[in-house]
Amino acid sequence: MSELALKQQIQNLKKHNARLVRLARDARSKLSAALDGTGLCLWQLDVPSGKLIIYNRRWGSMLGYQPKELNARFEVWKEHLHPDDRERVLDAFYGHLHGKTPYYEALHRMQHKNGTVTWVLDRGRVSEWDDSGQPLKVTGTHIDMTKEKQYEEQLALLANHDPLTGLANRHALIQHFEALKMAGALCVAFIDLDDFKNVNDTFGHRSGDELLMQLSQRLRETCPPGTIVGRLGGDEFVLLLPFMLSDIQVSDAARDCLQVALTPFELNNGTANVGASIGIEQVLPQDDFVNALVRADQAMYQIKHAGKNGAALGATPLTDFFNGA
């Protein structure tokens, strides 16, 4: 082959190589754009150097960083793991790297640049080994799961909390009841507001809702530590008090709850007054939530029939609310 022909062949190879480089760059750019639109982050780790040799822009932007702000290295990724998740995630990663699992997978939190948390579903597996069988490259994906986790938390909140007041709903009260009953002494208090209908009739239902929200906050602040405050619906509230019926904290809680119910409520369109009838019963070994609640409801109706605005511990009315005792 002549020197001229050899030079021509080299020139052609260079052109072909440049074309392949452009095609590869274009393909990577298109793949990155496609992945950015899906929320999927593609990565490949060079194990010996700790460098991320493949990653799309979404990897950094997921944490609030511009492309040049974040050094694409394994150590940087580790630094952004949430402290409460770091040990578990690294155990899973190194477990796969050492051949203990067929792939690496972890749902975990990463720390965003602005201090918030980003939830990530992380998956990967060793994709290349050296001649001695040691892992050289790990390839995988990050999926931003923050919106899904937020939605999950919202569903959990709705499943266990009253949407108006944020208090525990019936479902949550039953769960708390079972747990507290197993832990020790427990009382159930049934609170029914007196004259609440007058508030709705006089000020409107929106103001009635405002009163219920204010009362809910008062009950939270008034009840002793460990008490679960819940709302069954309407103007009916339930307390789960982790004490014996004879405990001074139970009678004090009854007094305090009655007092906060009797304290006038400043609403957007006026001042409203209500009262409360309260019945409290000790939970017996054979009681489930419904049985205990029925007996507390019966104790509460003793107060209703006796003229409202009072409390009964079992069959015993507390008659000293208004004399300052």
| Residues that are catalytic | 235
Whole-angstrom CA distances from 104 to 42, 60, 135 are 14, 21, 13
91: tokens are 């155990």
Name 225's bridge partners: none
Q: CB neighbours (10 Å) of residue 303?
A: 23
Tell me the C-alpha distance between 158 and 211, whole Å: 21
Residues 6+ apart with CB under 8 A from 184: 242
Read off the DSSP letter of residue 224: P
- H or E element that contains 167: none
Helices and strands of the chain, counted as H and E runs: 10, 13
Compute CA 273 distance to the chain's CA centroid, rounded to the nearest angstrom: 36
**CA atoms of 39 and 61, how far apart (whole Å):** 10
Cα 325 to chain center, whole Å?
Answer: 42
**Would you state the structure tokens that stand for residue 205, as one six-digit string?**
């239902």
Euclidean distance between CA atoms 280 and 262, whole angstroms: 18
- 3-class SS at 189? strand
